[in-house]
Amino acid sequence: MLLERFLPFLKATPAPSTVDADTLEAELSRALETARAANPGIAIDDDVFLRYLAEHVPVDELPLDGALRDMRVDHLYLACACASGDERAIAALERAHFGHVRAGLAQMRLSEEQMSEVNQRVRERLLVAAGGKTPRIADYSGRGDLGRWLRAVAVRLAIDSIRSRGREVAPGDDALADMAVPGDDPELAHLKDRYSSEFRAAVKAAIGALDAETRGDLRLYYLDGLRLEELASLHRVAISTVSRRLAKARESVLADTRRRLREKLALSEQDVESVLGLIASRLELSHSAWSEPKKK
């Protein structure tokens, strides 16, 4: 049975209430079938993938069958094969998912030379077993789209590369500011009509005052749609740590925006707080809401 081969590989012993043998056996069978069907021509021994799957499933969060259903086992299977150095899997990874990398780097207004350099660094970082260690693609958790995760890695490497050359960039800050600036609330229409450029400038300046890593995380979460667990996997920290970082960044943007508005505009306390209240609510929205097209 698959279950008997799977359970010994888990990093922690699941609570008995989270394991229904028949249901979990069926889910493991479905996971293997789904993974193989999505990756034709790429073969991994069942026990090798069961071990890999067990190492990545979040044992402590859900009943195991539910946790498995929520995972992208098709993408995890491909990552597993790439981590083992399978050339066909690596080629398939580049064909299917490196478009996300190119799209992410294109938004950063990099030169062709810089884009090529970052692409190469992504390949080396993720697919080369440096010092006998497992390639970093093994850090992909299977909890989210592999292409988005690759894009996040590329953006982080690009930011690091640019910072190492002594200059800062703020790719996407305009888009973040647009998302945070109040929309078409009728009660605040007069404020928007009169002060829209000042509000937007204040928010953009507040975002720009954050360090490059924090701005990068805000872009990855709000613009690129990465989930908290994907950011946590990227940084190799706990989900709670990422959540606190984002909350601190939002608070910093609001406080800095408030200060800038009060210094520049002769607005009442009530008007400033009303607008900032809308900005705060927008920054609390899910990234899926951010990605919805604007109504005309």
Do 226 and 259 belong together in one domain? Answer: yes
- Low-confidence spans in the chain with pLDDT less than 50: 168-171, 182, 184-185, 187-188, 285-296
Return the pLDDT at 210. Answer: 85
Helix (H/G/I), strand (E/B), else coil: 223: helix
Do 20 and 55 belong together in one domain? Answer: yes
Return the pLDDT at 6. Answer: 87
Using the CB atoms, write b or e for 214-233: b if 16+ within 10 Å: bbbbbbbbbbbbbbbbbbbb
Q: List C-alpha distances in Å: 153 to 222, 233, 251, 267.
A: 16, 10, 26, 42
Do 125 and 193 belong together in one domain? Answer: no
Domain boundary among the residues 81, 113, 128 is at 81
Return the pLDDT at 152. Answer: 82
Return the pLDDT at 267. Answer: 60
Return the pLDDT at 29. Answer: 94
Structure tokens at 152: 């996040």
* Nearest-5° Cα angle at 181, 175 to 184: 115
Using CA atoms, how far apart are residues 180 and 279, in angstroms rounded to an integer? 5
Do 98 and 135 belong together in one domain? Answer: yes
Say which residue the tokens 């992410």 belong to: 104
Tell me, letter by letter, the H, E, C secondary structure of 47-106.
Answer: HHHHHHHHHHCCCCCCCHHHHHHHCCHHHHHHHHHHHCCCHHHHHHHHHHHHHHHHHHHH
Using CA atoms, how far apart are residues 189 and 231, in angstroms rounded to an integer? 36
Domain boundary among the residues 144, 164, 184 is at 164
The number of folded domains in the chain is: 3
Do 19 and 64 belong together in one domain? Answer: yes
Do 143 and 194 belong together in one domain? Answer: no
Do 194 and 283 belong together in one domain? Answer: yes
Residue 295 inside a domain? The answer is no
Residue 30 inside a domain? The answer is yes
Do 183 and 257 belong together in one domain? Answer: yes
Amino acid, res. 64: L
Return the pLDDT at 234. Answer: 73
Q: What CATH number does the domain containing 189 carry?
A: 1.10.10.10
Say which residue the tokens 């989930």 belong to: 227
With beta carbons less than 8 A apart as the criterion, state whether 242 and 149 touch.
Answer: no
Please give the model's pTM, rounded to 2 decimal places. Answer: 0.62
Domain boundary among the residues 164, 187, 208 is at 164
Residue 296 inside a domain? The answer is no
- Domain containing 36: what range? 2-81
Using CA atoms, how far apart are residues 99 and 283, in angstroms rounded to an integer? 28
Helix (H/G/I), strand (E/B), else coil: 107: coil
Do 160 and 177 belong together in one domain? Answer: no
Residue 86 inside a domain? The answer is no
Do 77 and 95 belong together in one domain? Answer: no
Nearest CA to 260 out of 177, 200, 210 is that of: 200
